Amino acid sequence: MFNKKILTKKDLILVGILLAAAIICILLANAPSRGGGLTAVITQDGRLLYSVELSSVKEPYTIKIDGDYPLEIRLESKAVQVQNASCKDKLCMASGRLDRAGQQAVCLPNRTVVRIVSSSDKSEEWDAVTG
């Protein structure tokens, strides 16, 4: 009765272009940061405790953060992670290794934030939501 194709040649080209654009966006989002290197910024109650340039870390070491629920944070040359937490939920440990700018681990019971920023831009980062 009807002899009409569901997808035309132009439709297939459009789908191919959209698929290629999506793959490029995924690759760019997961690419390692370029410029400067990474800095681990550790704050508690909004106060800066440590700011460590990760490229300057020669041997991995651990920082102990005191508070209601003490933490152990492991710093390496290319990453940082919450190694041990004394709170019961341990969500900050579930964040895993932080190795890209913008990643962070938050321990709410101890009011501690560990985040990675690009060393070339230590200013506060703005996004589409905050303006």
Identify whether the C-beta of residue 78 lies closer than 8 Å to the C-beta of residue 99.
yes
Q: Please say if the pLDDT value at position 67 is more than 70.
A: yes
For the ranges 1-15, 50-64, 75-89, the lowest mean pLDDT is seen at 1-15
Please provide the distance, in angstroms rounded to a whole number, between the alpha carbons at the two ends of the chain: 56
Convert the pLDDT of each residue in 72-130 to its tens digit. 999 998 899 999 998 888 888 998 999 888 899 999 988 999 999 986 654 455 555 55
**pTM greater than 0.85 (yes/no):** no
Q: Give the per-residue pLDDT at 33.
A: 53
Convert the pLDDT of each residue in 16-52 to its tens digit. 999 999 999 888 777 665 556 889 999 999 899 999 8
Q: Give the per-residue pLDDT at 68.
A: 87
The residues that bridge with 113 in the sheet, in sequence order, are 43, 106
Domains and CATH numbers, the chain: 38-118 (2.60.320.10)
**DSSP one-letter string for 60-76:** -EEEEE-SSS-EEEEE-
Q: Please say if the pLDDT value at position 131 is more than 80.
A: no
Is 71 or 34 the better-scoring residue by pLDDT?
71
Please give the helix or strand (H or E) that residue 27 lies within, else none. Answer: helix 9-29
